[in-house]
Structure 1
């Protein structure tokens, strides 16, 4: 499934996003291991709550960091995250 601006992403079952102080990063935990996320990925995934669509997630990030033009980057990351099975579209 292709991710679009109207898509509503959520963390897939079996995965848990959390802040890991020892890693100084968000991590995605799953039964077989852990993925350490860079800051951008953590900011996107912590907003994937199954309620907000990609347009709202992007707008929230742009507001928080006082920038614009992040839509393509958010979509590209969510496409990868969906293919990896980390995220599903609600």
Structure 2
């Protein structure tokens, strides 16, 4: 799996390889959800779409928090801990 910012050449590489899957990065996804939440007017109830976006931002923030806990660990340890703490409950 290759996590990218959407740079097109990565997608070209994926199309030419059976071994690579491209996934977008959380920061770009989070930004779009955050924009939806920010569109809410102060004092008004969130729409269902805004509630979903707010939950997405919250969950992505939790991933960042967990990842930061292991930032000094080796890549192998980060992967192991990430799978343990971020997997389905």
Instruction: Specify the TM-score bucket, using the shorter chain as the normaliser.
Output: under 0.3
Structure 2 length-normalised TM: 0.28
* Bigger Rg over Cα: 2
The structure richer in strand per residue is: 1
Structure 1 length-normalised TM: 0.28
Greater relative contact order: 1 or 2 (C-alpha under 8 angstroms, separation 6 or more)?
1
The structure richer in helix per residue is: 2
